[in-house]
A and B are shown apart, each in its own frame.
Chain A
Amino acid sequence: MKKLIIFILVLFVSIIFAFTIKGNYGNPTPSNIYDNQRFMGQPFELSPERGRYALTMSLAEDHSFFLKHDIARIVTPDLGFYKGKYTLLVSPGLSMLGVPFYLLGAGFNLAQVFTFGMPAFFAVLNFLLILKICKQLGISFRGAVLGGLSYLFATTSFVYSVSYYQHQTTTFLLLATAALLFGKKSVLRFGIAAFLAGFSFWIDSQNPIFFIPLIFYAIQSILNVQKDKTFTRIFLNARYLFAAVGIVVALGAYSLYSLAVFARPFQLSGTLTSIKDFDQNNAPIIKTLSTQKDTSRFFNTRRMTNGFATLVFNEDRGTIYYAPIILIGILGVCQLIKKKYNESVAVLGTILFIFVLYTMWGDPWGGWAFGPRYLIPLFAFAAVFIGQAVDIFREKILFKLAFILLFAWGVAINLLGALTTNQVPPKVEAVALGMKWNYLLNWDLYQKGLSSSFFYKTYLSSILTLEVFYISIFVSIIAAAGLTLFLPERTK
């Protein structure tokens, strides 16, 4: 029965993603992207998705990590320059993973839509992993489902599941590592977990930092201290040390890639010379030295207050505006720690590491973006605590009411983002540009009936208004969560 419910849920969330994936029909050429699809509401409206897609395109079509000039043109300002060749300024992992999706989609003349479907694919996997972790931590199926749905639809995770961003993949690697470590102990599982931790470097260079609490969890789980009246025994299961091979393989592979491409074992793409744009003669305009990235300045503790305010309270990116359901998770922290101490501390540690790191980040807004996109992995781990809170307070009507209200708010806001645009400036820039800086900008597009959804634009726009489409999805999600929350317990 539970498997059937999971199947139905997976089908349900997949359909929602299928309805909301951003895109246009066809296999776009670089010039088509450059001329027609770089604008607000279009699938390539921002440089992160353009850059990663460009590399996917280059890998699939030209089998090269270096971009041809016409592809390079669409990548600016995230374009790197190395020995006269163009490359991407971000890690290549996501683009590499996207190649099979691209090739599969290209066969249906839907290369872009399929490639953009990859984050949605990982989002579904993340949903399943949240269910798994909740089970490992003794959280009820109902709590797990509500935690999972909250993560998928009531946080900015939704918006970044339907566009070509790295966040769902990063989240997948973290959740999968946690699930592997929290389960039955085996060298193979630990080895795979270590590989995933190492592979995260391929996706985003700062990712391995988020694995620190999980690595500590792994270390302490292979250590065992026993004490009796005479002796203290410390056991170390030495076989598990072989699991470290996983991380060596992943990072070693990166090193080989880096050597082959940049002739250096650990070249961070972000530190390459960057190109701002191309001039009228199509010659690259190199950024001035002061605007080049400096790795030693990526994270700065001086920025923590600003980062904290931005990620939590500020109107343009604050979690309390974009994902207030996360607050529910706080109610579950203490109980879960009492129940499953080591695992809960690892989960909480991961949350705090992600949060603290991004408070130090130079651009906590995530550039022009919808909501606090950097916190998406954090939201996934917080979903576990939401599940626990549901278990504790599910009988309280006030809790149910608060839950459904916060959930509905989150879905309403994030569905708006998913269906319209991610191109939302931070307030610091928006004020000068005379633009809106949060979901009110999305609301304007929504009211004008402008949607980025491939499905809506291709199949439904002639028969449905965007409002009806929006409300249908909204109601479906709320109904799914409402049913899970309010359905009475089965009597045995």
Chain B
Amino acid sequence: MIKIENGSLELLLVNSFVKRINDRLDKYIFSAVLLLLSLISIFTFIYYYKNGLGLSYNDARSHLDIARRVVEGLKPGLAQLGSVWLPLPHALMIPFVWNDFLWHSGLAGAIVSMVSYVGTGLIIYRFLKNLGVGMLGRLTGVFVFALNLNVLYLQSTAMTELLLLFTMTVGVYELVMWHVSDKIFRLIKAAFWIALSTLVRYDGWFLLMWASGLIVYHVFKKKGYRAAEGTLIFFGTLAAFGAGLWFLWNLAIFEDPLYFAFGPYSAHAQQEQLLEAGNLATKGNLWLSAKIYFFALIYSTGALTLAFGAIGAVLFFLNDKVKESVKFGASALMAPLAFNILALYFGFSVLFIQGLSGNTWFNVRYGVMMMPTIAILVGFLIDKLKSFRWVIIGLLLFVTFFAFTSVDAVTIDDARVGSSQKNVSEVSGWLRANAKDEKGFVLISAASHDAIIFSSGLPMKRFIHEGTGAYWESATTGPEHWARWIVMRTYDENDQTYKLIKNTVGFKNDYDKVQSFPFADIYEIKPEYLDRLNFEANLGKQK
């Protein structure tokens, strides 16, 4: 009822009505958040698709190509998942990537990120609810995550970050729930999600170890050594299943279970090159590693959000009302922080911050890995610091507004102007203009030039690359029989094509360099040798 009396507006509500509204809100808010996050996700994808930024990361194009090669190419099949990256992101793209539009728009990969974005937002809500955080804190936590521009950008791309965030956050959530309830089903669920995270990125492997430590400690404290041992084996059997499969996969496909770790395309091999070039300053320097990652965090999560998250962490871990077991379980939220600093310290990872590591960005997006953690901690802070909650929310809105107006997404810079970006458009543009409507194969190293393959717009089956088995072997032995065009960085031994064909007679005598670009050169077979060339994929089905 509304009354106006003496210039005063009075709204009279029956308490049962207020309670009903509250109950309804409680019941439907989860669905409302789901809907809202989905809309934000779709809108953001369209925005980045339209402005062409969605595929700025070369890695995004490579991820899409890897998935595409499974369904299309000279040698399609699961083996195309390769060893450079863990397979789950590409496996999840397979149902979509067969479609040319979904492949070339990046949507085949972005769908995975988008679903993960919505899922992570929802799990943050659940996480906070189960920590006893009120509605305001829960919603703040969700939107701290969901309105972070870097998260929004990455969810619109075929990158693997969002899938990792989702699987890790659900894994930690289930782990905390297990700490609270001791129900075995929770542990199985935790193991399942952590196992999935181990198939996305190696960050998941670190989480697996962290979670194992927590489980051993929790059970040992309650039930002693034997129970702890048993629980660890039980958990490990499922949680480490993915990692185990990865070793087997590498053994089966590449005849070396550690091929992913030490093979020629591994991160280790890249890091070795960087080390030789003196670009791995963090290796062996813990202070610098922490500093570099700290700045990646600031730039990826936002300075103010990070500051509130840090205060939230102090309040959470010092709060007497939060059970010790919950605190231990939730400590797994900090795994990405420890992992990234240690990875930099041991030289397993490389991260450049503009101003600290020269004038470039590289992998600064790793800072986003702490985003769900920070969102949860900010939500907790809002709930516990009741006196300041509106000031905090006001400041967060204030800064978010300016983050949007100043388009402060460091991940876009990382993708566009950093070391992750390589200007392949000249080469791919040449191929599109000169090879698309002609017959013949292109010999190219996918390990070096996947972004060119993607951007050229040519079907995958037009390319002979490392994953094409007999075609690759034949073409690198006698290119003049298979390759009408060759794309490679001449004189660069890291380019497998150049390395293998540089001394072949065919390459030396039968090709003209038709174009030379800063990123790669293009060779075309001389017209007089066209009649010797194979234009059809006639090697049959390969194993």
Q: Give the complex CA separation of A357 and B402 in angstroms.
A: 9
Chain B residues contacting A237 (CB-CB under 8 Å) are 7-9
Known contacts A216-B394, A232-B18; A238 and B7 CB within 8 A of each other: yes
Answer whether residue B258 sits at the interface, using C-beta atoms and an 8 A cutoff: no
Pairwise interchain contact B408-A301, C-beta atoms closer than 8 A:
yes
Chain B residues contacting A216 (CB-CB under 8 Å) are 390, 394
Pairwise interchain contact B390-A302, C-beta atoms closer than 8 A:
no
Q: Give the complex CA separation of A335 and B388 in angstroms.
A: 14
Q: Give the complex CA separation of A421 and B403 in angstroms.
A: 36
**Interface flags, B6-20, vs A, CB<8A=1, else 0:** 011111111100100
A residues 336-382 in Cβ contact with B at 8 Å:
337, 341, 345, 348-349, 352-353, 356-357, 359-360
Chain A residues contacting B405 (CB-CB under 8 Å) are 296, 299
Chain B residues contacting A353 (CB-CB under 8 Å) are 394-395, 398
Chain A residues contacting B14 (CB-CB under 8 Å) are 230-232
Pairwise interchain contact A304-B303, C-beta atoms closer than 8 A:
yes
Q: Give the complex CA separation of A359 and B399 in angstroms.
A: 11
Chain B residues contacting A302 (CB-CB under 8 Å) are 299, 406, 408, 410
B residues 367-399 in Cβ contact with A at 8 Å:
387-388, 390-391, 394-395, 398-399
Scoring B388, B398, B410 by chain A CB atoms within 10 A of each residue's CB, the highest score goes to B398
Chain B residues contacting A231 (CB-CB under 8 Å) are 12-15
Chain A residues contacting B388 (CB-CB under 8 Å) are 345, 348
Q: How far is the CB of B429 from chain A (nearest CB, A)?
A: 29
Chain B residues contacting A352 (CB-CB under 8 Å) are 391, 395
Kindly report which residue of chain B lies nearest to residue A209, judged by CB atoms. Answer: B398
Pairwise interchain contact B394-A341, C-beta atoms closer than 8 A:
no
Answer whether residue B245 sits at the interface, using C-beta atoms and an 8 A cutoff: no
Q: Give the complex CA separation of A304 and B398 in angstroms.
A: 13
Chain A residues contacting B302 (CB-CB under 8 Å) are 301, 304
Q: Give the complex CA separation of A291 and B17 in angstroms.
A: 59
Chain A residues contacting B299 (CB-CB under 8 Å) are 302
Kindly report which residue of chain B lies nearest to residue A297, judged by CB atoms. Answer: B406
Answer whether residue A234 sits at the interface, using C-beta atoms and an 8 A cutoff: yes
Q: How far is the CB of A217 from chain B (nearest CB, A)?
A: 10
Pairwise interchain contact A341-B387, C-beta atoms closer than 8 A:
yes
Pairwise interchain contact A233-B406, C-beta atoms closer than 8 A:
no
Chain A residues contacting B390 (CB-CB under 8 Å) are 216, 345, 349
Query: Which one, B13, B298, B387, B406, contacts A232 given CB within 8 A?
Result: B13
Q: Give the complex CA separation of A212 and B303 in angstroms.
A: 21
Pairwise interchain contact A213-B9, C-beta atoms closer than 8 A:
no
Q: How far is the CB of B364 from chain A (nearest CB, A)?
A: 11
Chain B residues contacting A238 (CB-CB under 8 Å) are 4, 7-9
Scoring A216, A231, A233, A302 by chain B CB atoms within 10 A of each residue's CB, the highest score goes to A302
Known contacts A216-B390, A308-B303, A345-B387; A227 and B15 CB within 8 A of each other: yes
Answer whether residue B304 sits at the interface, using C-beta atoms and an 8 A cutoff: yes
**Interface flags, B227-248, vs A, CB<8A=1, else 0:** 0000000000000000000000
Q: Give the complex CA separation of A213 and B398 in angstroms.
A: 11
Query: Which one, B7, B391, B399, B406, contacts A349 given CB within 8 A?
Result: B391
Pairwise interchain contact B304-A304, C-beta atoms closer than 8 A:
yes
Pairwise interchain contact A337-B410, C-beta atoms closer than 8 A:
no
Chain A residues contacting B398 (CB-CB under 8 Å) are 209, 212, 353, 356-357
Chain A residues contacting B394 (CB-CB under 8 Å) are 212-213, 216, 349, 353
Q: Give the complex CA separation of A299 and B395 in angstroms.
A: 14
Q: Give the complex CA separation of A349 and B12 in angstroms.
A: 31
Answer whether residue A300 sits at the interface, using C-beta atoms and an 8 A cutoff: yes
Known contacts A227-B15, A356-B398; A305 and B298 CB within 8 A of each other: yes
Listed by A's residue number, 14 A-B pairs whose Cβ atoms lie within 8 Å are A230-B14, A231-B15, A232-B13, A233-B13, A236-B10, A238-B7, A299-B405, A300-B406, A305-B295, A348-B388, A352-B391, A357-B398, A359-B303, A360-B399
User: With contacts A236-B8, A299-B406 known, what are 13 further pairs, Cβ within 8 A?
Assistant: A230-B14, A231-B13, A232-B18, A233-B13, A236-B11, A238-B8, A300-B408, A301-B402, A302-B410, A349-B390, A349-B391, A356-B399, A360-B399
Q: Which 4 A-B pairs have the closest CB atoms?
A: A304-B303, A300-B406, A239-B7, A234-B11
